[in-house]
Amino acid sequence: MAPKVLLTQLLPPDSQKLIESAKDVELVCWDKTGAIPREKFLEMAKGVDGIICMLTEKIDSELLNAAGPNLKVVSTVSVGYDHVDLNELRKRSILLGHTPGVLTDAVADITVLLVLAAARRIREGIRAVESGKWTWSQTWMLGVQFTNKTVGIVGLGRIGSATALRLKPFIGDNGKIIYFGRVEKPIASSLGATKVEFDTLIRESDVICICCELNEETKELFNYEVFKKMKSNVILVNTARGGIIRQDDLCRALSEGMLGSVGLDVMTPEPLNSNDPLLKFDRVIVIPHIGSATLETRTLMANLAIENVLSGVRGETLPHGVKM
């Protein structure tokens, strides 16, 4: 019998054709718009050999139990895999594939977009135009100039480095790039970036970009005590995972007048409630986790996820496997 693969959401057209053309697997798809409802997911996972899932789907013991003993591989169409319980996979010897590398440019682009939009008060500007409150004057809507500023990157991995590279021309030769991370990164020297302690980064940066993964060490790394130490006009951008910021503390800090402006592509929860306190602040720009959302990138990500799941169900090594 052909191995059965569950796909929890239709992929971009070329990738969908690719998975549908795989001869030696039986494909079952959730083909309605949006994330698969949990109950459907539990039901459809029963007896499958492989799953292609999205970051919206929690892969935990309940799901793995529902899937049963045939399941060999989970292939997420994302680079981050904090939605997957690695311990539960390990216990059952199930492999995990993800999609590193191919979304670096798209996410770095959106990080820079948020930095610029936050610095130049774009949300406020658009609101002023739309509400007819456009009162141009010399001192209206003044934003932050990047020249000579210090950019702090938290996590100088692929996305962090690509972000630093893009921001370098904005800060010019007299600007500084500093970074915080567990290890010294060889790429740092070509970027002219200096490794610093976390405390130094948050105190000295004019722009802070969160580009690290969410794990036990980075969970709620940004909290009230940290916000208190930041420059009063700092630009804080998070395109990594919402859980790296303690969001209640961010709202408290903003309401007490701390921080300059904030740009978020990720938050808690996702989707964010439309009456969330975060949305009250003009100087906070929130976009709906679209860092990797270009057709080219999503196609490449989906293709990697397909390679992973097909290798997994065929008993081969995953080309883009997570080290378990």
The CA distance from 100 to 77, in Å, is 10
- How do strand 235-238 and strand 150-154 relate by DSSP bridges? unpaired
Picking from 252, 207, 248, the residue whose alpha carbon sits closest to that of residue 230 is 207
Give, for 106, the enclosing helix (H) or strand (E). helix 104-119
SS3 state at 45: helix
227's tokens: 């916000």
Residue closer to ligand DGY, measured from CB, 225 or 270: 270
Query: Shortest distance, CB of residue 291 to ligand DGY, whole angstroms?
Result: 4
Residue closer to ligand DGY, measured from CB, 94 or 159: 159
DSSP state of 120: T
Query: Shortest distance, CB of residue 211 to ligand DGY, whole angstroms?
Result: 11
Lookup result for tokens 């895999």: 81
DSSP state of 96: E
Q: Is 289 a catalytic residue?
A: yes
Contact between 35 and 56 under an 8 Å Cβ cutoff? The reply is yes
Rg for the chain (alpha carbons), in Å?
A: 21
DSSP state of 101: S
Summarize as ranges the residues that interact with ligand DGY (CB under 6 A).
Answer: 55, 78-80, 103, 289, 291-292
Give, for 13, the enclosing helix (H) or strand (E). helix 13-20
CA 200 to chain centre: 24
Query: Shortest distance, CB of residue 258 to ligand DGY, whole angstroms?
Result: 27
CA angle (219 as vertex; 216, 223 as ends), nearest 5 = 145
The CA distance from 167 to 148, in Å, is 11
Query: Shortest distance, CB of residue 161 to ligand DGY, whole angstroms?
Result: 16
Query: Shortest distance, CB of residue 103 to ligand DGY, whole angstroms?
Result: 6
Query: Shortest distance, CB of residue 318 to ligand DGY, whole angstroms?
Result: 16
Question: Largest Cα–Cα distance in the chain?
Answer: 73
The CA distance from 254 to 63, in Å, is 38
Q: Which residues are catalytic?
A: 289
